[in-house]
Amino acid sequence: EPEVTQTPSHQVTQMGQEVILRCVPISNHLYFYWYRQILGQKVEFLVSFYNNEISEKSEIFDDQFSVERPDGSNFTLKIRSTKLEDSAMYFCASSGNLAGLSSYEQYFGPGTRLTVT
């Protein structure tokens, strides 16, 4: 069964460093997402991406964050200058939505645990 994959599974970085989290969405999906979950808290939406551009972003997704789909398979989240409060589990998701039509399930990857020290 197709699945979303994410690398690395765990990333430790120092405050102020840049990190890139990688995701390979399900191949025939059209929408891609990043969510995060701070330990013990609920999952929060960061950004959605469709047709090679950001379609929606939350207040969390400030100028320190960026996303990219550099090729036909990878979807990346970059944090330019990490802060302690960026420590969280970051989930990538993809879905097969067709714009303006009925919705589909979002399938999540296993997550990348980011620890900022």
Cβ atoms < 10 Å from Cβ of 16: 10
* Pairing verdict, β 112-116 and 53-57: unpaired
As measured in angstroms, the least distance from the Cβ of 62 to other proteins is 17
Distance CA 10, CA 62 (A): 23
| Residue 95 interacts with other proteins (CB under 8 A): yes or no | yes
Determine the Cα angle at 14 with ends 10 and 16, to 5°.
120
Quick one: which of 68, 115, 91, 104 has its CA closest to 5? 91
As measured in angstroms, the least distance from the Cβ of 11 to other proteins is 15
As measured in angstroms, the least distance from the Cβ of 37 to other proteins is 9
Q: Look at the block and give the residue holding tokens 């990346």.
A: 76
| Residue 97 interacts with other proteins (CB under 8 A): yes or no | yes
As measured in angstroms, the least distance from the Cβ of 83 to other proteins is 22
Query: Which CB atom, from 15 or from 98, has the smaller least distance to other proteins?
Result: 98
Stretch that binds other proteins, among 15-23, 29-37, 64-72, 80-88 (CB under 8 A): 29-37
Count of residues interacting with other proteins (CB under 8 A): 29
